[in-house]
Structure 1
Amino acid sequence: MSPTPQERRAARHQLGTGSSAPAARRGPSGGRKKPITVDAIISTAFGIVEEEGYEALTMRRLATALETGPSSLYAHVVNKEDLDELLLGRLCAEIDLPEPDPAIWRQQIVGICTQLRDQYLRYPGISQAAFAAAPSNLDTLRVSEGMLAILLAGGIAPQTAAWAIDSLSLYVNAYSLEVSLANKRLSRSDDDWVVSRDELLRRFAALPDTFPQTKRYAAELTAGTVHDRFDFTIGLMIDGLGVAEIPREA
Protein backbone atom coordinates (compact mmCIF):
# COMPACT_ATOMS: atom_id res chain seq x y z
CA MET A 1 0.00 0.00 0.00
CA SER A 2 1.31 3.44 -0.95
CA PRO A 3 2.14 5.78 1.96
CA THR A 4 -0.44 8.41 2.81
CA PRO A 5 0.39 12.14 2.44
CA GLN A 6 0.60 12.33 6.22
CA GLU A 7 3.16 9.51 6.24
CA ARG A 8 5.14 11.19 3.48
CA ARG A 9 5.11 14.42 5.46
CA ALA A 10 6.38 12.64 8.56
CA ALA A 11 9.15 11.06 6.50
CA ARG A 12 10.17 14.42 5.10
CA HIS A 13 10.59 15.74 8.63
CA GLN A 14 12.97 12.90 9.36
CA LEU A 15 14.85 12.70 6.08
CA GLY A 16 14.49 16.09 4.43
CA THR A 17 12.32 17.17 1.49
CA GLY A 18 13.39 14.67 -1.12
CA SER A 19 11.16 13.68 -4.00
CA SER A 20 8.34 11.26 -3.45
CA ALA A 21 7.50 8.55 -5.91
CA PRO A 22 5.69 9.98 -8.94
CA ALA A 23 1.96 9.56 -9.09
CA ALA A 24 0.51 7.97 -12.18
CA ARG A 25 -1.55 10.23 -14.41
CA ARG A 26 -5.17 9.30 -15.01
CA GLY A 27 -7.24 9.78 -18.10
CA PRO A 28 -6.56 9.47 -21.85
CA SER A 29 -3.62 11.90 -21.78
CA GLY A 30 -2.04 10.46 -18.64
CA GLY A 31 0.77 8.69 -20.44
CA ARG A 32 1.82 11.81 -22.34
CA LYS A 33 2.27 14.11 -19.35
CA LYS A 34 5.15 14.32 -16.94
CA PRO A 35 4.44 12.45 -13.70
CA ILE A 36 3.56 14.49 -10.63
CA THR A 37 6.22 14.57 -7.94
CA VAL A 38 6.83 16.74 -4.89
CA ASP A 39 9.62 18.50 -6.80
CA ALA A 40 7.28 19.24 -9.71
CA ILE A 41 4.67 20.59 -7.32
CA ILE A 42 7.18 22.84 -5.56
CA SER A 43 8.71 24.16 -8.80
CA THR A 44 5.31 24.90 -10.32
CA ALA A 45 4.14 26.61 -7.12
CA PHE A 46 7.21 28.86 -7.13
CA GLY A 47 6.51 29.76 -10.74
CA ILE A 48 2.97 30.84 -9.88
CA VAL A 49 4.13 32.95 -6.95
CA GLU A 50 6.90 34.57 -9.01
CA GLU A 51 4.53 35.52 -11.83
CA GLU A 52 1.27 36.19 -9.97
CA GLY A 53 2.12 36.62 -6.29
CA TYR A 54 1.55 34.42 -3.28
CA GLU A 55 -2.17 35.27 -3.09
CA ALA A 56 -2.69 33.49 -6.41
CA LEU A 57 -1.30 30.21 -5.11
CA THR A 58 -4.16 27.86 -4.31
CA MET A 59 -4.33 24.10 -4.63
CA ARG A 60 -6.81 24.49 -7.48
CA ARG A 61 -4.61 27.00 -9.32
CA LEU A 62 -1.61 24.72 -8.83
CA ALA A 63 -3.52 21.71 -10.14
CA THR A 64 -4.52 23.66 -13.23
CA ALA A 65 -0.90 24.63 -13.91
CA LEU A 66 0.09 20.97 -13.62
CA GLU A 67 -2.80 19.95 -15.89
CA THR A 68 -4.33 17.68 -13.30
CA GLY A 69 -6.97 17.71 -10.59
CA PRO A 70 -6.53 18.76 -6.95
CA SER A 71 -6.92 15.15 -5.83
CA SER A 72 -3.66 14.29 -7.59
CA LEU A 73 -1.85 16.90 -5.51
CA TYR A 74 -3.25 15.53 -2.28
CA ALA A 75 -1.48 12.27 -3.03
CA HIS A 76 1.74 14.16 -2.26
CA VAL A 77 0.89 17.08 0.04
CA VAL A 78 -1.52 17.08 2.95
CA ASN A 79 -2.98 20.55 2.38
CA LYS A 80 -2.02 24.14 1.55
CA GLU A 81 -0.17 24.52 4.85
CA ASP A 82 1.94 21.48 3.99
CA LEU A 83 2.71 23.03 0.60
CA ASP A 84 3.73 26.27 2.32
CA GLU A 85 6.08 24.31 4.56
CA LEU A 86 7.68 22.68 1.52
CA LEU A 87 8.16 26.04 -0.20
CA LEU A 88 9.76 27.64 2.85
CA GLY A 89 11.96 24.61 3.30
CA ARG A 90 13.19 24.85 -0.27
CA LEU A 91 14.07 28.53 0.20
CA CYS A 92 15.83 27.86 3.49
CA ALA A 93 17.81 25.02 1.92
CA GLU A 94 19.57 27.63 -0.22
CA ILE A 95 20.72 29.72 2.75
CA ASP A 96 24.47 29.55 3.29
CA LEU A 97 25.25 29.05 6.97
CA PRO A 98 28.80 29.98 8.01
CA GLU A 99 30.81 28.24 10.69
CA PRO A 100 30.14 30.22 13.91
CA ASP A 101 32.94 32.72 14.54
CA PRO A 102 32.88 34.65 17.85
CA ALA A 103 34.90 37.46 16.24
CA ILE A 104 32.34 38.23 13.53
CA TRP A 105 29.12 36.75 14.87
CA ARG A 106 27.18 39.97 14.30
CA GLN A 107 28.09 40.09 10.61
CA GLN A 108 27.20 36.42 10.29
CA ILE A 109 23.71 36.93 11.69
CA VAL A 110 23.16 39.96 9.45
CA GLY A 111 24.28 37.88 6.48
CA ILE A 112 21.77 35.13 7.20
CA CYS A 113 18.92 37.62 7.66
CA THR A 114 19.87 39.33 4.40
CA GLN A 115 19.93 36.03 2.53
CA LEU A 116 16.52 35.10 3.90
CA ARG A 117 15.14 38.51 2.94
CA ASP A 118 16.43 38.18 -0.61
CA GLN A 119 14.96 34.69 -0.93
CA TYR A 120 11.54 35.97 0.14
CA LEU A 121 11.68 38.94 -2.22
CA ARG A 122 12.22 36.61 -5.18
CA TYR A 123 8.67 35.36 -4.66
CA PRO A 124 6.28 38.23 -3.84
CA GLY A 125 4.36 37.75 -0.62
CA ILE A 126 5.67 34.27 0.14
CA SER A 127 6.87 35.32 3.59
CA GLN A 128 3.18 35.24 4.61
CA ALA A 129 3.58 31.47 4.74
CA ALA A 130 6.03 31.84 7.62
CA PHE A 131 3.64 33.69 9.93
CA ALA A 132 2.02 31.67 12.73
CA ALA A 133 3.76 28.54 11.48
CA ALA A 134 5.66 26.31 13.87
CA PRO A 135 8.84 25.25 12.05
CA SER A 136 9.13 21.50 11.60
CA ASN A 137 10.72 21.14 8.17
CA LEU A 138 14.35 20.09 8.54
CA ASP A 139 15.60 22.67 6.04
CA THR A 140 13.80 25.45 7.91
CA LEU A 141 15.05 24.21 11.27
CA ARG A 142 18.55 24.09 9.81
CA VAL A 143 18.53 27.90 9.53
CA SER A 144 17.35 28.47 13.11
CA GLU A 145 19.92 25.91 14.31
CA GLY A 146 22.66 27.81 12.49
CA MET A 147 21.54 31.15 13.89
CA LEU A 148 21.38 29.74 17.41
CA ALA A 149 24.90 28.36 17.11
CA ILE A 150 26.22 31.75 15.95
CA LEU A 151 24.50 33.68 18.74
CA LEU A 152 25.76 31.27 21.38
CA ALA A 153 29.28 31.54 19.95
CA GLY A 154 28.94 35.31 20.31
CA GLY A 155 28.32 34.95 24.04
CA ILE A 156 24.56 35.55 23.98
CA ALA A 157 22.67 33.78 26.77
CA PRO A 158 20.63 30.80 25.53
CA GLN A 159 17.19 32.24 26.38
CA THR A 160 18.08 35.61 24.85
CA ALA A 161 19.42 33.88 21.75
CA ALA A 162 16.27 31.77 21.41
CA TRP A 163 13.96 34.78 21.54
CA ALA A 164 16.29 36.80 19.32
CA ILE A 165 15.91 34.24 16.53
CA ASP A 166 12.13 34.55 16.78
CA SER A 167 12.27 38.36 16.74
CA LEU A 168 14.74 38.57 13.86
CA SER A 169 12.76 36.07 11.79
CA LEU A 170 9.52 37.92 12.45
CA TYR A 171 11.05 41.21 11.32
CA VAL A 172 12.52 39.68 8.16
CA ASN A 173 9.13 38.13 7.33
CA ALA A 174 7.24 41.37 7.93
CA TYR A 175 9.77 43.51 6.06
CA SER A 176 9.70 41.20 3.04
CA LEU A 177 5.91 41.19 3.01
CA GLU A 178 5.71 44.99 3.16
CA VAL A 179 8.19 45.43 0.31
CA SER A 180 6.27 42.89 -1.76
CA LEU A 181 2.99 44.71 -1.13
CA ALA A 182 4.53 48.07 -2.03
CA ASN A 183 6.00 46.66 -5.24
CA LYS A 184 2.64 45.14 -6.13
CA ARG A 185 0.94 48.51 -5.71
CA LEU A 186 3.58 50.20 -7.85
CA SER A 187 2.94 47.71 -10.63
CA ARG A 188 -0.76 48.59 -10.74
CA SER A 189 -2.38 51.64 -12.24
CA ASP A 190 -3.66 52.80 -8.84
CA ASP A 191 -0.13 53.41 -7.51
CA ASP A 192 -1.08 56.69 -5.79
CA TRP A 193 -0.85 54.87 -2.46
CA VAL A 194 2.92 54.48 -2.88
CA VAL A 195 4.39 57.96 -3.00
CA SER A 196 7.90 59.20 -3.68
CA ARG A 197 10.14 60.82 -1.10
CA ASP A 198 9.61 64.21 -2.76
CA GLU A 199 5.87 63.80 -2.41
CA LEU A 200 6.22 62.82 1.24
CA LEU A 201 8.37 65.87 1.90
CA ARG A 202 5.74 68.05 0.24
CA ARG A 203 2.97 66.54 2.36
CA PHE A 204 4.94 66.91 5.58
CA ALA A 205 5.75 70.53 4.75
CA ALA A 206 2.03 71.20 4.31
CA LEU A 207 1.13 69.83 7.74
CA PRO A 208 -0.33 72.24 10.31
CA ASP A 209 1.92 73.59 13.05
CA THR A 210 0.53 71.02 15.48
CA PHE A 211 3.11 68.64 13.91
CA PRO A 212 6.30 70.64 14.61
CA GLN A 213 8.68 67.68 14.93
CA THR A 214 7.43 65.94 11.79
CA LYS A 215 7.82 69.15 9.80
CA ARG A 216 11.25 69.93 11.22
CA TYR A 217 12.68 66.44 10.75
CA ALA A 218 10.93 65.51 7.52
CA ALA A 219 14.28 64.88 5.81
CA GLU A 220 15.34 62.42 8.49
CA LEU A 221 11.95 60.68 8.51
CA THR A 222 12.12 60.05 4.77
CA ALA A 223 15.85 59.35 4.39
CA GLY A 224 17.38 56.11 3.15
CA THR A 225 16.28 53.22 1.00
CA VAL A 226 14.16 50.38 2.30
CA HIS A 227 17.26 48.19 2.49
CA ASP A 228 19.06 50.92 4.46
CA ARG A 229 16.27 50.72 7.00
CA PHE A 230 16.47 46.93 7.00
CA ASP A 231 20.19 47.01 7.79
CA PHE A 232 19.61 49.61 10.51
CA THR A 233 16.85 47.63 12.21
CA ILE A 234 18.68 44.30 12.11
CA GLY A 235 21.78 46.02 13.49
CA LEU A 236 19.74 47.69 16.22
CA MET A 237 18.20 44.39 17.26
CA ILE A 238 21.54 42.60 17.35
CA ASP A 239 23.30 45.36 19.25
CA GLY A 240 20.57 45.23 21.89
CA LEU A 241 21.08 41.55 22.65
CA GLY A 242 23.88 42.20 25.11
CA VAL A 243 21.64 44.34 27.32
CA ALA A 244 18.34 42.52 26.78
CA GLU A 245 16.58 41.35 29.92
CA ILE A 246 14.36 38.30 30.00
CA PRO A 247 11.20 39.02 32.08
CA ARG A 248 10.85 36.84 35.12
CA GLU A 249 7.75 34.75 35.54
CA ALA A 250 5.43 35.95 38.26
Structure 2
Amino acid sequence: MRDNPRTRPAKAPLGRAAVVAAALALVDEVGFAAVTMRRVAQALDTGPASLYVYVADRNELMAQVYDLALAEVELPGPADGDWRERLELLVSRMIRVLSRHDDLALVALTGVQTGPHSLRVMEETLRLLREGGVDDATCAWAADLLDQHVIASALERAGWLRDQRRAADAGAQDLARAAGTQLDEVIGALPAEDYPTLHALRRSMTSTGNGDARAAWQLSAIIDGLLARRR
Protein backbone atom coordinates (compact mmCIF):
# COMPACT_ATOMS: atom_id res chain seq x y z
CA MET A 1 0.00 0.00 0.00
CA ARG A 2 1.37 3.40 -0.96
CA ASP A 3 2.13 5.84 1.82
CA ASN A 4 -0.35 8.70 1.90
CA PRO A 5 -2.00 10.90 4.55
CA ARG A 6 -4.85 8.41 4.91
CA THR A 7 -2.69 5.32 5.51
CA ARG A 8 0.11 7.00 7.46
CA PRO A 9 -0.22 6.65 11.28
CA ALA A 10 -1.38 9.86 12.90
CA LYS A 11 1.37 11.89 14.56
CA ALA A 12 1.18 12.46 18.27
CA PRO A 13 -0.26 15.88 19.06
CA LEU A 14 2.42 18.52 19.41
CA GLY A 15 2.57 20.50 22.63
CA ARG A 16 5.02 22.00 25.10
CA ALA A 17 5.29 18.77 27.10
CA ALA A 18 6.02 16.73 23.97
CA VAL A 19 8.67 19.21 22.79
CA VAL A 20 10.43 19.22 26.17
CA ALA A 21 10.29 15.44 26.52
CA ALA A 22 11.73 14.98 23.03
CA ALA A 23 14.55 17.42 23.80
CA LEU A 24 15.42 15.57 27.03
CA ALA A 25 15.50 12.26 25.17
CA LEU A 26 17.88 13.82 22.63
CA VAL A 27 20.15 15.12 25.40
CA ASP A 28 20.43 11.56 26.66
CA GLU A 29 21.04 10.22 23.16
CA VAL A 30 23.44 12.70 21.53
CA GLY A 31 24.57 15.00 24.35
CA PHE A 32 23.56 18.44 25.56
CA ALA A 33 25.69 20.45 23.11
CA ALA A 34 24.39 18.56 20.07
CA VAL A 35 20.71 19.24 20.71
CA THR A 36 19.39 21.94 18.38
CA MET A 37 15.90 23.19 17.60
CA ARG A 38 16.15 21.55 14.19
CA ARG A 39 17.12 18.22 15.72
CA VAL A 40 14.21 18.36 18.17
CA ALA A 41 11.84 19.17 15.31
CA GLN A 42 13.12 16.19 13.33
CA ALA A 43 12.53 13.91 16.31
CA LEU A 44 8.94 15.16 16.42
CA ASP A 45 8.49 14.90 12.64
CA THR A 46 7.77 18.61 12.29
CA GLY A 47 9.49 21.81 11.22
CA PRO A 48 11.65 23.97 13.53
CA ALA A 49 9.25 26.91 13.14
CA SER A 50 6.47 24.95 14.86
CA LEU A 51 8.55 24.67 18.05
CA TYR A 52 8.59 28.44 18.55
CA VAL A 53 4.90 28.32 19.37
CA TYR A 54 5.89 26.67 22.66
CA VAL A 55 9.35 28.06 23.45
CA ALA A 56 11.07 31.31 22.52
CA ASP A 57 14.46 29.77 21.73
CA ARG A 58 16.89 26.99 22.61
CA ASN A 59 17.76 28.59 25.95
CA GLU A 60 14.16 28.53 27.09
CA LEU A 61 13.77 24.97 25.83
CA MET A 62 16.84 23.79 27.72
CA ALA A 63 15.57 25.48 30.89
CA GLN A 64 12.37 23.47 30.52
CA VAL A 65 14.39 20.32 29.89
CA TYR A 66 16.47 20.96 33.01
CA ASP A 67 13.29 21.35 35.04
CA LEU A 68 11.85 18.14 33.63
CA ALA A 69 15.02 16.28 34.63
CA LEU A 70 14.65 17.52 38.21
CA ALA A 71 11.23 15.86 38.32
CA GLU A 72 13.23 12.64 38.80
CA VAL A 73 14.61 13.90 42.14
CA GLU A 74 12.78 12.28 45.04
CA LEU A 75 12.63 14.53 48.10
CA PRO A 76 13.84 12.86 51.31
CA GLY A 77 11.31 12.28 54.06
CA PRO A 78 11.40 12.07 57.86
CA ALA A 79 12.40 8.41 57.67
CA ASP A 80 15.66 9.43 55.96
CA GLY A 81 17.10 11.01 59.10
CA ASP A 82 17.57 14.43 60.62
CA TRP A 83 17.76 17.68 58.64
CA ARG A 84 21.43 17.22 57.76
CA GLU A 85 21.07 13.65 56.57
CA ARG A 86 18.10 14.66 54.45
CA LEU A 87 19.99 17.64 53.00
CA GLU A 88 22.97 15.47 52.11
CA LEU A 89 20.65 12.91 50.52
CA LEU A 90 18.82 15.59 48.54
CA VAL A 91 22.05 17.04 47.17
CA SER A 92 23.37 13.58 46.29
CA ARG A 93 20.17 12.71 44.47
CA MET A 94 20.28 15.94 42.47
CA ILE A 95 23.87 15.22 41.40
CA ARG A 96 23.04 11.68 40.34
CA VAL A 97 19.92 12.71 38.42
CA LEU A 98 21.57 15.58 36.55
CA SER A 99 24.70 13.58 35.73
CA ARG A 100 22.56 11.00 33.93
CA HIS A 101 21.64 13.68 31.38
CA ASP A 102 25.05 14.57 29.97
CA ASP A 103 26.02 18.25 30.55
CA LEU A 104 22.47 19.43 31.20
CA ALA A 105 23.62 20.93 34.52
CA LEU A 106 25.22 23.73 32.47
CA VAL A 107 21.75 25.23 32.15
CA ALA A 108 21.77 26.21 35.81
CA LEU A 109 24.89 28.35 35.29
CA THR A 110 23.02 30.82 33.11
CA GLY A 111 20.45 32.04 35.63
CA VAL A 112 17.90 31.17 38.27
CA GLN A 113 15.69 28.27 37.27
CA THR A 114 12.04 28.90 38.08
CA GLY A 115 10.29 25.80 36.76
CA PRO A 116 7.97 23.91 39.11
CA HIS A 117 10.42 21.10 39.82
CA SER A 118 13.32 23.51 40.34
CA LEU A 119 11.21 25.48 42.80
CA ARG A 120 10.18 22.25 44.56
CA VAL A 121 13.83 21.32 45.15
CA MET A 122 14.74 24.91 46.09
CA GLU A 123 11.94 25.06 48.66
CA GLU A 124 13.11 21.85 50.31
CA THR A 125 16.76 22.95 50.32
CA LEU A 126 15.94 26.27 51.98
CA ARG A 127 13.60 24.61 54.47
CA LEU A 128 16.28 22.13 55.55
CA LEU A 129 18.89 24.88 55.87
CA ARG A 130 16.58 26.91 58.11
CA GLU A 131 15.83 23.80 60.15
CA GLY A 132 19.57 23.37 60.62
CA GLY A 133 19.89 26.88 62.04
CA VAL A 134 21.20 28.82 59.05
CA ASP A 135 19.85 32.34 59.51
CA ASP A 136 17.51 33.89 56.98
CA ALA A 137 20.01 36.58 55.97
CA THR A 138 22.42 34.02 54.51
CA CYS A 139 20.06 31.14 53.69
CA ALA A 140 19.87 32.12 50.00
CA TRP A 141 23.68 32.31 49.79
CA ALA A 142 23.96 28.89 51.41
CA ALA A 143 21.51 27.42 48.91
CA ASP A 144 23.45 29.03 46.06
CA LEU A 145 26.69 27.49 47.34
CA LEU A 146 25.05 24.06 47.42
CA ASP A 147 23.72 24.64 43.88
CA GLN A 148 27.24 25.39 42.66
CA HIS A 149 28.42 22.16 44.27
CA VAL A 150 25.59 20.23 42.59
CA ILE A 151 26.37 21.72 39.16
CA ALA A 152 30.13 21.13 39.36
CA SER A 153 29.74 17.60 40.72
CA ALA A 154 27.06 16.68 38.17
CA LEU A 155 29.21 17.91 35.28
CA GLU A 156 32.24 16.03 36.59
CA ARG A 157 30.23 12.85 37.06
CA ALA A 158 28.61 13.22 33.61
CA GLY A 159 32.07 13.47 32.06
CA TRP A 160 33.18 10.39 33.97
CA LEU A 161 30.12 8.48 32.75
CA ARG A 162 30.85 9.53 29.14
CA ASP A 163 34.44 8.34 29.50
CA GLN A 164 33.26 5.04 30.94
CA ARG A 165 30.95 4.51 27.98
CA ARG A 166 33.74 5.33 25.54
CA ALA A 167 36.11 3.05 27.43
CA ALA A 168 33.61 0.21 27.24
CA ASP A 169 33.21 0.75 23.49
CA ALA A 170 36.98 0.82 23.00
CA GLY A 171 37.62 -2.15 25.28
CA ALA A 172 39.64 -0.14 27.84
CA GLN A 173 39.73 -1.61 31.34
CA ASP A 174 40.15 1.21 33.83
CA LEU A 175 39.97 4.82 32.70
CA ALA A 176 40.35 6.29 36.18
CA ARG A 177 43.55 4.31 36.78
CA ALA A 178 44.92 5.47 33.42
CA ALA A 179 44.28 9.10 34.37
CA GLY A 180 46.01 8.56 37.72
CA THR A 181 48.98 6.98 35.99
CA GLN A 182 49.27 9.92 33.62
CA LEU A 183 49.25 12.43 36.49
CA ASP A 184 51.76 10.30 38.40
CA GLU A 185 54.13 10.37 35.43
CA VAL A 186 53.80 14.13 35.07
CA ILE A 187 54.53 14.78 38.75
CA GLY A 188 57.35 12.25 38.74
CA ALA A 189 59.08 14.15 35.95
CA LEU A 190 58.96 17.45 37.85
CA PRO A 191 62.02 18.55 39.84
CA ALA A 192 61.27 17.88 43.51
CA GLU A 193 63.06 21.04 44.64
CA ASP A 194 60.67 23.18 42.59
CA TYR A 195 57.50 21.22 43.36
CA PRO A 196 58.00 19.76 46.85
CA THR A 197 54.31 19.79 47.78
CA LEU A 198 53.22 17.99 44.62
CA HIS A 199 55.82 15.32 45.31
CA ALA A 200 54.79 15.04 48.96
CA LEU A 201 51.14 14.52 48.02
CA ARG A 202 51.84 12.51 44.88
CA ARG A 203 50.41 9.24 46.14
CA SER A 204 47.13 10.71 47.40
CA MET A 205 46.69 12.84 44.26
CA THR A 206 47.20 9.97 41.83
CA SER A 207 45.24 7.32 43.73
CA THR A 208 41.87 6.48 42.16
CA GLY A 209 40.42 6.30 45.68
CA ASN A 210 36.72 6.09 46.45
CA GLY A 211 34.66 8.56 44.45
CA ASP A 212 31.63 8.28 46.72
CA ALA A 213 33.75 8.91 49.80
CA ARG A 214 35.30 11.98 48.17
CA ALA A 215 31.87 13.34 47.24
CA ALA A 216 30.58 12.76 50.77
CA TRP A 217 33.61 14.55 52.24
CA GLN A 218 33.14 17.55 49.96
CA LEU A 219 29.49 17.96 50.87
CA SER A 220 30.21 17.45 54.55
CA ALA A 221 32.90 20.17 54.44
CA ILE A 222 30.43 22.61 52.86
CA ILE A 223 27.73 21.94 55.45
CA ASP A 224 30.25 22.11 58.30
CA GLY A 225 31.30 25.52 57.00
CA LEU A 226 27.70 26.73 56.85
CA LEU A 227 27.07 25.56 60.42
CA ALA A 228 30.25 27.26 61.63
CA ARG A 229 28.91 30.59 60.39
CA ARG A 230 25.58 30.38 62.15
CA ARG A 231 24.78 33.34 64.33
Deviates further, 48-57 or 195-204: 195-204
- Note if 1:237 corresponds to 2:222: yes
* 2:182 alignment partner, one of 199, 224, 229: 199
* 1:166 alignment partner, one of 144, 147, 160: 144
Cα deviations by residue, 1:172-206 (Å, 9 ceiling, x for unpaired): 112222333354456288x9x98422332233222
Contact between 2:135 and 2:230, CA under 8 Å: does it hold in 1? no
* 1:126 alignment partner, one of 96, 104, 108: 104
Cα deviations by residue, 1:204-233 (Å, 9 ceiling, x for unpaired): 222212111111211222342443332221
Contact between 1:100 and 1:149, CA under 8 Å: does it hold in 2? no
Contact between 1:117 and 1:172, CA under 8 Å: does it hold in 2? yes
Cα deviations by residue, 1:102-144 (Å, 9 ceiling, x for unpaired): x722211111111111111111111011112222212211111
Contact between 1:54 and 1:125, CA under 8 Å: does it hold in 2? yes
**Structure 1 regions of 5+ residues with no counterpart?**
1-26
Counterpart AA for 1:232 = W
Q: CA–CA distance in 2 between the matches of 1:147 and 1:222?
A: 34
How many residue pairs are counted as aligned between the two chains?
Answer: 217
User: Who is 1:218 aligned against?
Assistant: 202
Matched position secondary structure for 1:196: helix
Contact between 1:91 and 1:119, CA under 8 Å: does it hold in 2? yes
For 1:97-112, what aligned pairs fall within 5 Å after superposition?
97-99=75-77, 104-112=82-90
**Structure 2 regions of 5+ residues with no counterpart?**
none
Q: CA–CA distance in 2 between the matches of 1:172 and 1:134?
A: 14
Counterpart AA for 2:179 = S
User: Who is 1:93 aligned against?
Assistant: 71
- Note if 1:40 corresponds to 2:18: yes
> Structure 1 vs Structure 2: percent identity of aligned residues?
29
TM superposition score normalised by structure 1 = 0.77
For 1:18-33, what aligned pairs fall within 5 Å after superposition?
32-33=10-11
Q: CA–CA distance in 1 between the matches of 2:96 and 2:67?
A: 15
Q: CA–CA distance in 2 between the matches of 1:61 and 1:159?
A: 44
Deviates further, 129-138 or 237-246: 237-246
Q: Per-residue deviation at 1:242?
A: 1.8
Q: CA–CA distance in 1 between the matches of 2:183 and 2:213?
A: 18
Contact between 2:106 and 2:155, CA under 8 Å: does it hold in 1? yes
User: Who is 1:11 aligned against?
Assistant: none
Contact between 1:49 and 1:123, CA under 8 Å: does it hold in 2? yes
Matched position secondary structure for 2:190: coil
- Root mean square deviation of aligned Cα: 2.8
Cα deviations by residue, 1:23-76 (Å, 9 ceiling, x for unpaired): xxxx95897222212222122112211111100111111111111111111122
Deviates further, 177-186 or 111-120: 177-186
Q: CA–CA distance in 2 between the matches of 1:99 and 1:180?
A: 27
Contact between 1:160 and 1:241, CA under 8 Å: does it hold in 2? no
- Note if 1:150 corresponds to 2:134: no
User: Who is 1:76 aligned against?
Assistant: 54
Q: CA–CA distance in 2 between the matches of 1:126 and 1:200?
A: 28
Deviates further, 157-166 or 30-39: 30-39
Query: 1:100–1:161: structure 2 CA closer, same or farther, 3 Å change rule?
Result: farther
